[in-house]
Amino acid sequence: MKLTVSLGQMRVATSAPEENLAKAQRLVAEAAARGSDLVCLPEMWTTGFDFAWNAAHGALHEEAIARVSDMARRHRVWINGSMPEMTADGRPANTSILFDAEGRRAATYRKTHLFSLFHEDRFVAPGQNLTVAQTPWGPVGLSVCYDIRFPEIFRTYALKGARMVLSPMAFPYPRLAHWKILVRARAIENQLFMVGTNQVGSEGPGGEGEAGEGRVTYFGSSVVVDPWGETVVEAGEAEEVLLTAELDLERADEVRQRMRVFQDRRPELYDLN
């Protein structure tokens, strides 16, 4: 099954959802004009990581979600990216939402591994479940940024039949080498497409004095890696850009037949507790 996917690598304006929504609208319109079926945006692309501001503006988050839904419906494309969403206990969650071309939520995943180095665990409600979305292209797994360091997620998705995982990112320097290795490793070991859409630009996550590393600069390098570990398309480190590529998800089936990793597993030997 083939699909055309676009990755919107963008500079996110902290605590400025109107600016970010306007930018996303332009990216989605251009992606639709290119014939894209799916548009992927970065992690926390509507607001960035000012934790105090995000906690205080739940109504704006709900409005942003509704506007992205409308964006998907008007342009007849699927849209994914992570956004703050308020939980029942009044805390924001870092939520990856997959909207279908009717503007409906096809799937929702709340980031399960929160980045303690930036004190994300102090300000954000953790997700409690993994999510495999049912799409016209087959099962698709959802993850968010730091999750990529936890290979169990991606193996779980592969075992559930996913042939592609969508990963909105806010990955900063100095960990560019880690990103390049990890995204390919997850693709190769699980024989699936990895779609990683990163931010560019700088911000101070959590506000000055809150984040463990202070101000950070994101390195872009958004990428699609195929199930054999080959790069399909990749962005540079600094520019805002819309990447577009056609993917054939049957490539995952071909690779799994060629390299019989899943048949050769020995799960009776593995203790992951």
Q: Give catalytic residues, as residue numbers.
A: 43, 111, 145
- Selection from 223, 224, 226, 233 nearest residue 258 by Cα: 226
158: helix, strand or coil? helix
Q: 3-state secondary structure string, 53-76?
A: HHHHCHHHHHHHHHHHHHHHHHHC
Q: For residue 257, which phi and psi values (nearest 5 degrees)?
A: -80, -35
Distance, CA of 20 to CA of 245 (rounded, Å): 23
H/E stretch holding 78: strand 78-86
Q: Which long-range contacts (CB under 8 A, 24 or more apart) does 108-116 make?
A: 109/142, 109/143, 109/144, 110/85, 111/82, 111/144, 111/145, 111/146, 111/147, 112/147, 112/153, 113/146, 113/147, 113/149, 113/150, 114/146, 115/145, 115/146, 116/212
- Selection from 179, 113, 152, 144 nearest residue 42 by Cα: 144
Tokens of 148: 């990529």
